[in-house]
Every structure is written in C-alpha cells, then in structure tokens.
Copies of this chain bind each other. A is one copy, B any other.
Amino acid sequence: MTQTILISEVGPRDGLQSINMVMPTEAKKAWIKAEVEAGVSEIEVGSFVPPKLLPQMADTAEIVAYAKTLPGLDVVALIPNLKGAERAIAAGVDKMSIPFSMSETHSIKNVRKDHAAMVSEIRAIAELVAAQPKASRPHFEVGLSTAFGCTIEGPVAEDQVVRLAEATIEAGAAEVGLSDTTGYANPQQVRRLVRKVKAAIGDALLNTLHLHNTRGLGLANVVAGLEEGISTFDASLCGLGGCPFAPGASGNIVTEDLVFMLEAMGLETGIDVEKLLQVREILRQALPDEPLYGFTPDAGLPLGFERAAA
C-alpha cells in the first residue's frame, strides 16, 4: 500500500457545475486559497466548457490564473474537447483532464461523440500538448467515466474499459483514471478493474480513482483502490457535485471524510483535517441554499485523534 496519498480536490469544478447557483469568483478564490493553506496540493479549479452551457464555469481562466499564484498547488482543469484544451493551455494549467465515457450511449448523449470520435479527439489533444514548449506543457490525463456502470446502459463490459484505456494511451494521453460517475462501483469491482487496466497499460499509467458516494460505498471503494496501489483520489469538499448529465448520479466522496480516513489509517495526505473542516464555512456562506455533506464534520474528530504526519 502506498504511504503517501494525493487528494485531488474537484469541488470547484465537479461540485459547482452540478448546482444551479453561480458561485462568485471571489468566493471560489477564497475556497481554493483556504484549501491550499490546509495542505491540499492539487485542485481541479474549473472547466473549459462553453460558458453558455455551464455559466458556473465562465470564470475558469481567471480562476486558473489566480490559482497559479498559490505556492505548491497543481492547477487542474477539465476540458471537454480540443477547443477546451486550447483554452486550458492558454490559461496555463498544470494538468488537464478530459472525461471519456466508457458507455458509448452516455458519451453520445453527453458530448455527442462516439468512442472512435473520442479517441480521435484525444489524439488531437495529445498532439497539441506535445507541440507545446516543455516548460509550459500540461500533464494530460483522460478520465474513463462511467467505467463501473452507466445509468443509461447499465453494466459496462470490463473488456471494453480495458480496450479503450489502451486506445487512450496509444492516442498519446499521459495517464488514465477510472471514474465511477454513477456511483455503481463496489470494492470487488474496483479491485478487479484496476488490476485489469493496469495489466493492460502498465502499472504507472493508472493512478487515479474518481469515486462517488451515491450508494454509500465511496470510502469502501477507496480502501479497495488503496490495496491495488492507487495513490490519487478525487474528492469534493462538503460532497458537492456529481455528474449533471448522468441522471441519478450524485455525490462525490467527501474530502473531509476521505482525509480523516486516510490520516487515521496512518497514510500521509499532507492535509490538516482540522483546517480543512474550517474551509466549509466559506461554502456555507457562499452557497447558503446548498446542503453540505460529510459525516466527520458532523461527528467531529475522535477524542485523541492524531494526524499521521503529526
């Protein structure tokens, strides 16, 4: 089991794109800054989608520019396509991630591209990345979404995920991640699919799981992922977010609960969970009508709890 775990905060992107309210730019900046001060070292700060599609993400370039000024932070943005990649590169992201839905039906509904078209798009983006000067070349990751099942198609064949992971790497992506967009995954399936994909593309090219807590299994799936050597987990402060295009899919795993669990297990996240819990106040004030999730925030830390790194 890896001893140092990277938490990639996705709330400013996945969380905010899922709610109707547009969070003011200054509140986004305060949120990101406060997480960095709590020790978070990677944040997906926004999405380069057309503003008319997701007005919540219209200020992403400004947010990227701000986040780049924060010390020790890797700034990630989601991109839907080549056009988004161009904007992300122009904004100066450290890393960009495109979702590639393993369910072809979901892919067509979500971004109007079948699997072949998505692989072409990934290849074009990889070529664009490769053409950048090395100093400003972002890390390009592909998130294999609906990898554990789809709310439209139902089960997604594992062989298909493996095949598309191979095609993604062959097309030039630096890395793939597995996303349980729909909250369908179970720990046995996580172990099996991680193992299969790693066997196909190599151990070093799959490090990230993006898990949802839709059916309460989010952290159980993290445990399974840890055992297969996964070292990066996406999570969202207050459990904000899900996928707006996958009906019924709600609830990223809660960053606070994840950090508590990992630190309690003796793994190092670099995050001060007490400071992290205080960041919730920013969301409470900026999103007064949104329910904020999390068990650890409600229950408090155990009496005598000590951080792994303390």
Seen from chain A, the residues whose Cβ lies within 8 Å of a Cβ on chain B are 149-155, 182-184, 186-189, 213-217, 219-220, 222-224, 248, 250, 254, 257, 260-261, 264-266, 294-296, 299-300, 302-304
* 13 CB-based A-B contacts, threshold 8 Å: A149-B302, A151-B303, A188-B266, A189-B265, A215-B261, A215-B299, A216-B254, A217-B257, A217-B264, A220-B223, A220-B261, A223-B224, A248-B300
Contact A215 B257 (CB under 8 A): yes
CB of A191 to closest CB in B, whole Å: 9
Number of copies: 2
Chain B, residue nearest A1 (CB):
B188
Q: Is the CB of B215 within 8 A of A216?
A: no
Complexed CA–CA distance, A206 and B180 (Å): 34
How many whole Å from A71's CB to the nearest CB in chain B?
31
Pairwise interchain contact A186-B220, C-beta atoms closer than 8 A: no
**How many angstroms between the C-alpha atoms of A254 and B153 in the bound complex?**
28
Q: Which residues of chain B come closer than 8 Å to A220, judged between CB atoms?
A: 219-220, 222-223, 261
CB neighbours (8 Å) of A299 from chain B are 183, 214-215, 248, 250
User: Which listed residue (B182, B187, B265) contacts A261, Cβ 8 A?
Assistant: B187
Could you tell me the distance between the alpha carbons of A220 and B253 in the complex, rounded to whole angstroms? 13
* Given A151-B303, A154-B302, A216-B257, CB of A186 within 8 Å of CB of B295: no
The 10 closest A-B pairs by CB, nearest first: A154-B304, A216-B295, A186-B264, A188-B265, A219-B220, A154-B303, A216-B257, A184-B302, A215-B296, A220-B220
| Shortest Cβ distance from residue A238 to the other chain B in the assembled complex, whole angstroms | 13
Nearest opposing residue in chain B for A212, CB measure: B299
